[in-house]
Chain A
């Protein structure tokens, strides 16, 4: 590593023993204050802090971090640019392989990916790769110096993409840079998929998603919103209109309910609905915005994933006096990121572990008033390797609630498979692919993201989009 001028935070001592510089914290909004607004929780690194953190990277010759990244971000290279104060260059380096760095820097589970493989993590704390990624991407966007690569001459080949979520946006960016004429068809009125309807403003400001979408449009990607593939037009019709390949990245797209008595009472939402009302429709700004949402005082969110955390933290911000996570296993098994759980705890969310709802109780008017729960204990490990929860007989009791959000997962939305001839799915309705390239049972049709894997992460969907882009390029180059 080059010896370079240093920021105020670096001392002589740390030059000798670099591992002693602690992983730099990101300042955050005070929990008591932030539960009353929808503004982003972490503020991001300052230039100085970013450089200090970047210098912790020892620039491994064979970096493990890159192998941990589904889109192979050139991690040591971009961090080196930051450490030397070349922030714009760092952003450009990121964008070579990642079309959505400002998003990934915020919502990727780095602790399970790049940072998990960081050599510094073996003895101490890994380099804060995600925070640095966020810093570089934000720096570029805020500088107003977002450079648009020179337009690539069209090769005359048209590719259609169903769904403007993480996988669709990624593949669109990759293919347009290779000269394809790319059109994304999005069912909703706004592009972004889960980034706009699912992830709340306080975790991913929508202006960032909008900027990424605008960037893609400047690259030449066409986006048709309000266009439901399978309804407005079918994939077969798109082929007939001259599209030569289609990528399906429509997401899992259907909520799972538990099918217990009372689940259709008023005040009970799927997480998809609750979050879509708040995020996409901006119901938290009702009546300035027209879409309403129930502002519950006693809110229970069922589930232990990131979506559950997003829902319960939204409930707090909508004015809940009591916001609970009800989860059938223990905190150890919770699939949510530690950071999200930590943020929820800081904000005063109650965690009711080893509990499962079995019935909802309503009043005369049809509103939910109670959630009958049964206590659980952990038994033998199940297929996922986690100890499976077993109900304790006779332990039922009722919790007072006025709002419930069911966040126990999603399943495949059948619209696209049901309207596309010869497209094979598995018994759960997810589209079958032949390999990592996303090839389906139909020539020229590729698929990736949650509609193939079931609910997963933004970055895995982006990885699938990237691989399908390469596969479509190879396929259409042969044609």
Chain B
């Protein structure tokens, strides 16, 4: 860090569920500029890695941005362990292309797991643009469901699902979407954000009916400005960089198998680092 415009201070930290955290960060320059669908890259400290996280919300006047993340490895665990008042060493953004927000008519926004946090700003923006917004959000179980109230307030209709039936509709978000289609409900566009299998299934559901479906990809990134190609994905048979060509793509064109593979590239190292972190062997 050479002297950033902002201090990257954590203003607020709230646990949304057992392993999902919402954080409000001081980042005035990013808050000024950010649009729905964009993300930041953060690095906690000198030895930290750079990770991309979607900007869930921003307040240009207060100069703050909100992120939501799930604890999946060392960096996210370390981040979750930080307190309000502490600062991150580096926050860069806003990155990626904003979501194409237009008045499409009736849109269905599908969010799964921590992806509900990523789809939330789209719901807000699409509603504001005059769309009829139907939101379908889901999680494995009731305790892991996030942002139900916020999503509900910004949607014309909200359906909640849990895989285990502990809350809302028993089943997957894609089942609900399938039922809507089967009933002949008019759908002008779908936005689907969540785990790779969820996005793939949603795309499988909408494709036969020609309903354009936009997905937001969570590729591994390093510089996140188009320099390195770590985040490359295949879309329509062509290589694209998630960081500068995305993060949103036409889901019917995305090679989800490749995406899922590449997300596993550092599984072993990530596990090693996380284990060391948990037992305190890394000194953090």
Contacts and interface: CB of A to CB of B under 8 A. Distances in A.
B229 A365 contact: no
Nearest to B90: A189
A263 B5 contact: no
A9 B60 CA distance: 68
Given A188-B223, A225-B1, A231-B94, A292 B270 contact: yes
B165 to A, nearest CB: 33
B262 interface: yes
Contact of B239 (A222, A264, A272, A286): A264
B2 interface: yes
Given A287-B282, A290-B75, A291-B49, A222 B3 contact: yes
A273 B258 contact: no
Nearest to B30: A232
Interface residues of B, number: 48
A253 B262 CA distance: 22
Interface in A188-217: 188-191, 197, 213, 217
B33 A273 contact: no
A225 B33 contact: no
A255 B239 CA distance: 12
A113 to B, nearest CB: 27
Given A231-B95, A366-B258, A281 B226 contact: no
A223 B2 contact: yes
B225 A287 contact: no
A388 interface: no
Interface residues of A, number: 48
A224 B47 contact: no
A188 B257 CA distance: 30
A270 B229 contact: yes
Given A227-B29, A286-B273, A291-B49, A187 B2 contact: no
A226 B261 contact: no
B269 A292 contact: yes
B6 to A, nearest CB: 9
A264 B228 contact: no
Given A272-B229, A287-B269, A224 B4 contact: yes
B244 interface: yes
B229 A255 contact: yes
Contacts of B234: 264
Contacts of B264: 266, 366
A102 to B, nearest CB: 19
Nearest to A232: B29
Nearest to B228: A273
A294 B239 CA distance: 21
Contacts of B232: 257, 264
B3 A413 contact: no
A276 interface: yes
Nearest to A223: B2
B2 A233 contact: no
Interface string A409-450: 000011100000000000000000000000000000000000
A25 B257 CA distance: 54
Contacts of A378: none
B227 interface: yes
Most chain-A CB neighbours within 10 Å: which of B5, B49, B223? B223
B279 interface: no
23 contacts: A187-B223, A190-B2, A224-B5, A225-B4, A226-B1, A227-B5, A231-B33, A232-B29, A253-B226, A264-B262, A266-B265, A272-B229, A273-B228, A276-B223, A276-B228, A290-B47, A290-B74, A291-B50, A292-B266, A292-B269, A366-B257, A413-B225, A414-B226
Given A225-B90, A231-B93, 13 more contacts: A226-B1, A228-B95, A231-B33, A232-B94, A263-B239, A264-B239, A272-B228, A276-B228, A286-B269, A287-B282, A289-B47, A292-B266, A413-B226
Closest 5 CB pairs of A and B: A366-B261, A292-B269, A273-B228, A226-B92, A290-B49
Interface of B: 1-5, 29-30, 33, 43, 47-50, 74-75, 89-95, 222-223, 225-230, 232-234, 239, 244, 257-258, 261-262, 264-266, 269-270, 272-273, 276, 282
